[in-house]
Amino acid sequence: MTRKLTVAEVRAMKAKGEKITMLTAYDASSARMLEQAGIDMLLVGDSLGMVILGYDSTVPVTMDEMLHHAKAVRRGAPASLVVGDLPFMSYQVSIPEAIHNGGRFMKEAGCDAVKLEGGFEVCDTVRAMTAAGIPVVGHIGLTPQTAGLLGGYKVQGKDLESARRLLASAQALEKAGAFAVVLECVPAALAEAITQAIAIPTIGIGAGPGCDGQVLVTHDLLGMFDKFTPSFVKQYAHLAQQVKEAVGEYRREVKDGSYPDAAHSFPMQVSIAEVLREG
């Protein structure tokens, strides 16, 4: 990728029927690889709290932690469209605080847009942020920051009332100015219906093939996070096991003295005898 994809171009991809690819990135080296692979959008997700920082959920993640990682992603992927994930309680307290924190992602970390969770309840915030010049991606369905209120990490929108609420939320987010919306853990038929009902792109995660694009946590896709794997994730590699095997082999070779060998050591240009000779 040599030229940064713009927000307007992301919206246009829906009209052209071109699928959108999005993956999470948390550091410069992985962001560089994703950019080189041609991924359209990089999400600095608050999922970093679990896969990078070792928290039990995304709730403890702070703005400072998010900015730290977002800056690294921008340095690693200067030509990518980078979206910063607003963490829990960084946008719920007040609209001015939401604008301030969204602005920090853009000013301090160089992000191109932000993402926040919620439907109707965040539409006024989305409207104010977009009016302030901050592009916003919505996020409905399973919202991890408030999963406890939803009965845990469960599929959302399975009954008539909740399905209609998700459809209406997507339409409200579009009207409020969001340029895309993530649909997480939503039945495939409902996600497809929402996709057809709104003009902005839908990006699915556990929402079937009918969305305009897809996003996954990169560590899940690569098999690097082995505490659990969501059922909707296809693992394209199993790197956790490969890393353990490689590190185990390194440990064995250091212990038995076979590493480093001559091939991995530097020769001298003079003899040790000359070095040790006095005078």
Which of 35, 117, 174, 184 is the catalytic position? 184
CA distance 110 to 73: 9
Alpha-helix residue ranges (DSSP H) falling in the chain = 7-16, 28-36, 48-51, 63-76, 95-107, 123-131, 160-176, 188-197, 218-221, 239-256, 272-276
Query: What are the φ and ψ backbone dihedral angles of 225, each rounded to 5 degrees?
Result: -105, 100
Rg value, the chain, Cα: 23
CA angle 266, 267, 269 (to 5 degrees): 135
**Dihedral-angle region of residue 91 (phi above 0 means left; psi in -120 to 50 means alpha; beta otherwise):** alpha
Residue 192 Cα distances to 168, 186, 263, 269, angstroms: 14, 10, 57, 69
- Residue 165 burial by CB count (10 A; 0-12/13-18/19+): exposed, middle or buried? middle
108 is catalytic: no
Residue type, 61: V
- Spatial neighbors of 223 by CB under 8 A, at least 6 apart, are 229, 235, 236, 237, 238, 239, 240, 241
Residues annotated catalytic, as ranges: 184
